[in-house]
Chain A
Amino acid sequence: MTELTSKLLVLGFNLMPSAMPNSKFTFVRKRLDQAFERVVCEFVGKKNDAAVCWIGISLTHTIPFKGLTENLLMEDVASDKDRGWTIIESKDDRCKWLRSVAEIAVPKLNQIAEGLAKTLIENCGQSLERAKSCIVAVERVTSVETMLLTLKANASEDELRVAERIVEWPGVVQIADSRTTYEVAALLVLQNLYKSRLPNPSISKEMPLENTNLMWEIQLVADSLLQRS
């Protein structure tokens, strides 16, 4: 990975921390618009012997989330065109494959990035705007813990209850050990929502994962907080 990492670092990509540090490598680069470019290398199978690569665009830096992220499988670097992967049997195979990622995947990403980013920004425009206004409200606060205390002090019981329920739902917290960040994000989004229109009691009853805009806003705010921290 060292050679690929060096090549991508020169191009402005950063290697992201991973929950699977031996098998999944995600490189992210900020674009001039609101999007991020991504190159993902993953080794799958019990022996991590099948290598797969994606390139993609995301409106989030740390959290790849459905609707906010669009990944394309890099079939061009796959030797098995049916499965989309390359079988790695030796160190040489691995080096060769990683070299092909640097040589083929990155130029391909440059070709598609503009169009993909534009589509994503258009699709999620409303959520992006609303998320921005949430973040502005607490921009000067330095820690999420302090932020949460402040928000809780000013939140209604209903907002606290709903926010807690949302965060507990499987699939909302996308990054391990970041519950506080998500509590802040959920409260910010809810308060913004309650401010902008009449309180919507249905939010407390519906499954949060079914409410795409709500989830996008929470993920965008959480992602922004994670970047700051």
Chain B
Amino acid sequence: MAGNAIDVNRSVDDIVENGASVYNVLGAVGGTLGLAGNFSQFGKAVTGGCFIAGTQVRLCSEDEYSEGTQELGEEALGDSAIAVESKAVASTFTTASTRSESIESIRLGSRVPDQNPISSDYDFSFGAVDAATWKQIDVRLRRSDGALVEMQLLRPMQWVEELELTVGGTLAMQLLEMEVDGLAEVTSIADCPEISDGRGSVVTGRFVTHQVSNLIEVTLATGTRFTGTTTHPVWLPDHQLWVPIVSLLEGDRVDTLDGPVAIASLTRLATIANVYNLEVHGHHVYRVTNDGVLVHNTCPVAPSRTAKAVHDSYLNKVRPGARERVFETPWSSGKGLGSRKFDDFDFMTGTGFEANTTPWSTMTQEQLSRKLDQVGSDFALLKTNPDVKRIVWFGTEPLPTTGLGGQLREALQKAGIPYWVVNP
């Protein structure tokens, strides 16, 4: 790979000078999102955790069909069943049982060898990928530094409906490691493509970031080379850590399908290129080059899940084990609002719970309208549904007395619905 070499270890020295060894810093940060955030200072310019075109990605061969895995996946009875699925597929993959394809050509729905070594990194919150109930959503946005990011995602239909996504509409996204934080435009919503049969985890996202400059070429002792962005995490089995490429050292051993292989050299490139990344369902890992170097997919499972994740985490702290309950409301379906879904429902007391983590100061008129519709539905349910005895709204912030939040406060009061401030 052509390009001007820059002393990569210089950046590592900078970290050490700042008061901690490379691996202590990594250990302290923990997750890959944090890693990317911390190390982005060393890879400024246009950045993003990805690989250049032509980088080979190992795919599961479709003839490696595993009947047992498929049956378990189809059950989709919940996280426990999916966890069983992950165990079932977490057998060893070899170069013989996989094949390679360039990262830019990988199609959504393909399967890649999985087995993330950090089990706490697993995320099966969307359940098993099912072409019948999932959709493909294409979005694009321009980052604040001018870089264009295009994304194709597979997501459950329910997720699309919950976010009320429409073509031409917007989707709030926050991908810290790709320095994306803003509104993306939804360019297409289409049927889910065919999901490959067999072992491995499904590719649920493709990302292209245009004109990126923070590239490093990694050469292994086997002679294999790959070029990725500074922030992209690679697994070091000897340290049991995900380490961004910028922090790799010559001699570090990476994980390949044939076992650990040492890094021979690292070269910082001055080239500018489009870079590609994948999102892998559940395990969030894939393998690059013909050797199968284990890398993280670095992307959070869902753009805009940041807000949802905050909501769900808060809800689970306030109402551990919360399970949503849906009430079909004919009066709201006419307005295209569908059903009324409570975040949790206490069957012993007939109480519906609605958790709020939207900062009132940032609430938009559209969000207010949606919440006012919910209040209307709640009032009707309280008056008419024999199962609903009480409804409680709660949130992290007190409702303001003025502005949009003030309107919501007034509506809740009129409907006789209490609002509690709960900060667990």
- Tell me whether chain A's interface is mostly helix, strand or loop, or mixed: loop
Closest to B386 in A: A69
The reply to whether B78 and A49 form a contact with Cβ atoms under 8 Å apart is yes
Stretch of A5-13, A84-92, A96-104 contacting B (4+ beta carbons < 8 Å): A84-92
B377 contact set on A, CB distance < 8 A: 170
A182 to chain B, nearest CB (A): 10
The reply to whether A85 and B347 form a contact with Cβ atoms under 8 Å apart is yes
The reply to whether A171 and B386 form a contact with Cβ atoms under 8 Å apart is no
The reply to whether A45 and B384 form a contact with Cβ atoms under 8 Å apart is no
Is A20 an interface residue when CB atoms closer than 8 A count as contact? yes
Contact pick for A65, options B77, B324, B384, CB 8 Å: B384
The reply to whether A73 and B348 form a contact with Cβ atoms under 8 Å apart is yes
Bound form: Cα–Cα A172–B345 in Å:
23
Is A173 an interface residue when CB atoms closer than 8 A count as contact? yes
A91 to chain B, nearest CB (A): 8
The reply to whether B345 and A88 form a contact with Cβ atoms under 8 Å apart is no
Closest to A168 in B: B331
Given A89-B77, A171-B384: A82 and B328 interface contact (C-beta under 8 Å): no
The reply to whether B348 and A84 form a contact with Cβ atoms under 8 Å apart is yes
The reply to whether B380 and A171 form a contact with Cβ atoms under 8 Å apart is yes
The reply to whether A174 and B127 form a contact with Cβ atoms under 8 Å apart is no
Contact pick for A50, options B76, B323, B383, CB 8 Å: B323
The reply to whether A52 and B347 form a contact with Cβ atoms under 8 Å apart is yes
Is A132 an interface residue when CB atoms closer than 8 A count as contact? no
The reply to whether A64 and B78 form a contact with Cβ atoms under 8 Å apart is no
Closest to B321 in A: A83
Closest to A23 in B: B326
Bound form: Cα–Cα A219–B387 in Å:
17
Contact pick for B330, options A68, A71, A91, A174, CB 8 Å: A174
A87 to chain B, nearest CB (A): 9
Bound form: Cα–Cα A227–B127 in Å:
40
Is B143 an interface residue when CB atoms closer than 8 A count as contact? no
A149 to chain B, nearest CB (A): 23
The reply to whether A64 and B386 form a contact with Cβ atoms under 8 Å apart is yes
The reply to whether A46 and B323 form a contact with Cβ atoms under 8 Å apart is yes
Bound form: Cα–Cα A13–B76 in Å:
31
The reply to whether B80 and A70 form a contact with Cβ atoms under 8 Å apart is no
The reply to whether B77 and A47 form a contact with Cβ atoms under 8 Å apart is yes
The reply to whether A66 and B383 form a contact with Cβ atoms under 8 Å apart is yes
Is A137 an interface residue when CB atoms closer than 8 A count as contact? no
Q: Give per-residue flags for B332-345: 1 if the beta carbon is below 8 A from chain A beta carbons, else 0.
A: 11000000000001
Given A23-B326, A44-B324, A171-B380: A65 and B80 interface contact (C-beta under 8 Å): no
The reply to whether B331 and A70 form a contact with Cβ atoms under 8 Å apart is no
A178 to chain B, nearest CB (A): 8
A105 to chain B, nearest CB (A): 14
Given A44-B323, A45-B323: A170 and B376 interface contact (C-beta under 8 Å): yes
A141 contact set on B, CB distance < 8 A: none
The reply to whether B80 and A89 form a contact with Cβ atoms under 8 Å apart is yes
Is B346 an interface residue when CB atoms closer than 8 A count as contact? yes
Is A198 an interface residue when CB atoms closer than 8 A count as contact? no
Given A170-B376, A171-B331: A47 and B76 interface contact (C-beta under 8 Å): yes
Is A203 an interface residue when CB atoms closer than 8 A count as contact? no
Is B311 an interface residue when CB atoms closer than 8 A count as contact? no
A177 to chain B, nearest CB (A): 8
Closest to A66 in B: B386
Bound form: Cα–Cα A74–B301 in Å:
38
Is B305 an interface residue when CB atoms closer than 8 A count as contact? no
Q: Which 6 A-B pairs have the closest CB atoms?
A: A171-B380, A45-B323, A84-B347, A170-B331, A19-B328, A209-B383
30 A-B interface contacts by CB (under 8 A): A46-B323, A46-B324, A47-B76, A49-B323, A50-B323, A54-B387, A56-B386, A64-B385, A64-B386, A64-B387, A66-B388, A70-B386, A75-B348, A83-B347, A83-B348, A85-B323, A89-B78, A89-B81, A90-B77, A91-B77, A170-B331, A170-B376, A170-B380, A172-B331, A176-B330, A176-B333, A209-B380, A209-B383, A210-B383, A215-B383
A residues whose Cβ falls under 8 Å from a Cβ of B: 19-20, 23, 44-47, 49-50, 52, 54, 56, 64-71, 73, 75, 82-85, 88-91, 170-178, 209-210, 215
